[in-house]
Structure 1
């Protein structure tokens, strides 16, 4: 057998073995790596390269070495699940670099971190003022986690006292022009509803690259033909306008009647409708 054919066979075999073993080791091997996982990954890659190209070496000896390097971390991960000491030993632990708004210089030296590197890591988190940071920890993966001071944290609806509806995942009901039955059912919709929504937008499913049902049960689409303009959903703005018109009508009725009980009824209904509009304004306006 020619050497190049032999190398192809060995390389494909090594690739298949590594793929299977990586799936067994789990997703951590392709996420932010700890120091131990980093060493394992480099060694496995080097072993795979050697047994793929070194035709004079025993292929099965290389496979045994790969299995050992995969089996040991796999067993250690199982043991680390039950022992915090082992987790700290093999995965390391985070180091606090900023506490109560103060940089801990001793911890920086311990991690061999310079001031420039700290500022660089903060900038990657879109933080450009050191004084804005209340707490920062260097995780065992090498990533920097930060907590901003309360007065510079982004505003949320909770800070403003606004009630927001619970967001639910969007469901992709059309992909590559094909209706996706399972996501459509998960969204609580049927094919008939989907077709009627497409008719409202004036498009066919064959021209839809992506179609999603959002939290509000509305269909949004991305078309193959980018020159076509798809009308935006108008049900919620129309409902808001109807509620406001009803509120104005109730106010008008309360002013135009002379009957005390009727006037009070119209005023009470107007106040209740005003509260409903205030609660739903953010949702219906978007």
Structure 2
């Protein structure tokens, strides 16, 4: 067999074996690399390259080495799942960098971080002043997590004592000019609804790069033609305005009638509708 053919065969075989072994290791090998997993990934890649190019050595020896590395990695991951002491020893623990707004200099030295590096990590979390940070720690994978002091945290409905319902994820109903039937069915909608909404916006289906429907049934589109501006959905604003108009009409009817029973009914309805508007306002005005 010519050498160039053997290299191709070895490379294809290495790709297949490497793909299978990395699938066996799981997604954590990619998204949350510990120090040992980082070394393992480099070594496995180097071994796969050696199998492809080193035609003077038996190919199966490289496969055996790859398999051993993967089995050791799986064994260590299994040990980490079963033992906290093993996790702490292999991956180490999280380290506190800032506590009560005070930088822990000794811990910075332990993690071999400079002041500039700490500030850079804080900026990735939108914290530009160390004094505004209540608590910050660095995870075993090198990521920093930050808790701002209460006075510097973004205002949320919880701070205002407002309860809001859960919001469902938006569904992509149009992709690359094609209607996606499964997400539409999830929302209880159909293709006719999509065409109707597109007619309201004055755009054609083949010009829609992305179309999404949010939890309130509002239809958002992004077009291939960036020169065309599409108006934002106004369903929530329209509903809020209609409710306010109905409440105002009930008040007016109550003031304009001389019948005591009708006046009382209009006033009660107006008060009840006002309470409904107050309850749904956070949902319709955000």
Do Structure 1 and Structure 2 share a fold, with TM-score over 0.5?
yes
Q: Which residue of 1 aligns with 2:271?
A: 271
Q: Which residue of 2 aligns with 1:192?
A: 192
Q: Which residue of 2 aligns with 1:249?
A: 249
Structure 1: segments with no counterpart, 5+ residues: none
Worse-superposed segment, 177-186 or 24-33: 177-186
Change (3 A) 1:117 1:236: closer
Structure 2: segments with no counterpart, 5+ residues: none
Instruction: Within 5 Å, give how 1:143-158 maps onto structure 2.
Output: 143-158=143-158
Aligned residues of 1:34 and 1:92 also touching (Cα < 8 A): no
**What is the rounded CA distance, in whole Å, between the counterparts of 2:130 and 2:178 in structure 1?**
51
Instruction: Output the TM-score relative to the length of structure 2.
Output: 0.92
Worse-superposed segment, 43-52 or 3-12: 3-12
4+ runs deviating over 6 angstroms: none
How far apart are 1:214 and its partner, in Å? 1.0
Q: Which residue of 2 aligns with 1:131?
A: 131
Aligned residues of 1:177 and 1:206 also touching (Cα < 8 A): yes
Q: CA RMSD in A?
A: 1.9
Secondary structure at the counterpart of residue 173 of structure 1 = strand
Q: Which residue of 2 aligns with 1:166?
A: 166
Q: Which residue of 2 aligns with 1:101?
A: 101
Q: Which residue of 1 aligns with 2:69?
A: 69
Number of aligned residue pairs: give it: 286
Change (3 A) 1:285 1:148: closer
**What is the rounded CA distance, in whole Å, between the counterparts of 1:144 and 1:169 in structure 2?**
27
1:177-217 C-alpha deviation (Å, 9 max, x unpaired) = 22222111112212333333233333333332222121112
Please tell me whether residue 7 in structure 1 is matched to residue 26 in structure 2: no
Q: Which residue of 1 aligns with 2:260?
A: 260
Aligned residues of 2:211 and 2:222 also touching (Cα < 8 A): yes
**What is the rounded CA distance, in whole Å, between the counterparts of 1:177 and 1:114 in structure 2?**
50
Secondary structure at the counterpart of residue 212 of structure 2 = strand
Worse-superposed segment, 263-272 or 33-42: 263-272
